[in-house]
């Protein structure tokens, strides 16, 4: 087990409460007595549905190593394979409002950090996209929390969604046209056998009503 004090990673959101260990890894994968190779069974039924839109089926979350879930995560049977599968996929931490006790203990034994974060303890959310931020707005509203009074929410992309949520989203705008132009130039360079190094383009903060105005 490898301990860590500080950790930064890619977050995958799992917006489902009461996820049990049979959903985390189905029973057909319990025959294994080794911990390696169990990643293929992680959320197997959800990941392998036709035209699956499950979060871990999306390419941008393939390297996720932090899982954010809903309440009572890891309930059901005590199978330790569920934790092994999460670890084999690459998850280092799971964040949820609550966990099943046995699952939480199994995580502790296997080096996965469980973080209990109650809704009332969250005062800001910075989402990876405007669509995810819009989902956060809906969940916060259902929980009776006001935006931005209780929780500030910031999206990313400055898409049309950001302008028509309630309240309108503060978000980070990307220079989409410049991004496309630079990508095309890099592709031509690669085709011509020329090196194409990393490129960082400036972004812009678009302030709307989902955040409190800053000082001054």
Looking at the chain, the domain(s) classified CATH 3.40.50.2300 span 122-216
Looking at the chain, the domain(s) classified CATH 3.20.19.10 span 11-117
Fold of 11-117: Aconitase; domain 4 (3.20.19)
pLDDT at 84: 95
Confidence category of residue 20, pLDDT binned at 50, 70, 90: very high
pLDDT at 215: 53
Average pLDDT over all residues of the chain: 88
Q: For the chain, what's the residue count?
A: 216
**Residue 121: pLDDT above 80?**
no
The backbone torsions φ and ψ at residue 93, rounded to the nearest 5 degrees and listed phi first, read -150, 150
The backbone torsions φ and ψ at residue 142, rounded to the nearest 5 degrees and listed phi first, read -65, -30
Q: How deeply is 191 buried, as exposed, middle or buried, from its count of CB atoms within 10 A (0-12, 13-18, 19+)?
A: exposed
Whole-number Å distance between alpha carbons of 80 and 105 = 10
Confidence category of residue 114, pLDDT binned at 50, 70, 90: very high
- pLDDT (tens digit per residue) in 65-102: 999 888 899 999 888 999 999 999 999 999 998 999 99
- pLDDT (tens digit per residue) in 129-186: 898 899 889 888 888 889 998 889 999 999 999 999 999 999 999 888 888 898 898 8
**Residue 58: pLDDT above 70?**
yes
**Homologous superfamily of domain range 122-216:** Response regulator (3.40.50.2300)
Whole-number Å distance between alpha carbons of 133 and 216 = 26
The pair of structure tokens assigned to 62 is 């393939």
User: Between the CA of residue 157 and those of 76, 127, 175, 202, 204, what are the distances in Å?
Assistant: 39, 10, 9, 13, 10
- The DSSP secondary-structure symbol of 122 reads -
């Amino acid at each position: 087990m490898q301990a860590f004090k500080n950790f930064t990673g890619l977050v995958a959101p799992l917006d489902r409460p009461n996820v049990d260990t049979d959903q985390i890894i189905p029973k057909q994968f319990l025959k294994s007595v080794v911990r390696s190779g169990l990643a293929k069974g992680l959320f197997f039924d959800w990941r392998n549905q036709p035209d699956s839109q499950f979060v871990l089926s999306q390419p941008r979350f393939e390297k996720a190593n932090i899982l954010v879930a809903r309440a009572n995560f890891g309930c059901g049977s005590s199978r330790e394979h569920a934790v092994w599968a999460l670890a084999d996929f690459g998850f280092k931490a799971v964040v949820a409002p609550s966990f099943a006790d046995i699952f939480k203990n199994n995580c502790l034994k296997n080096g996965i950090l469980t973080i209990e974060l109650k809704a009332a303890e969250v005062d800001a959310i910075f989402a990876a996209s405007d669509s995810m931020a819009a989902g956060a707005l809906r969940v916060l509203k259902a929980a009776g929390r006001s935006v931005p009074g209780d929780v500030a929410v910031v999206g990313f992309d400055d898409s049309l969604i950001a302008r028509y949520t309630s309240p309108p989203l503060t978000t980070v705008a990307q220079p989409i046209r410049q991004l496309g132009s630079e990508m095309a130039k890099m592709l031509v360079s690669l085709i011509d056998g020329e090196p194409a190094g990393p490129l960082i383009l400036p972004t812009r903060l678009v302030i709307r009503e989902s955040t409190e105005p800053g000082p001054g």
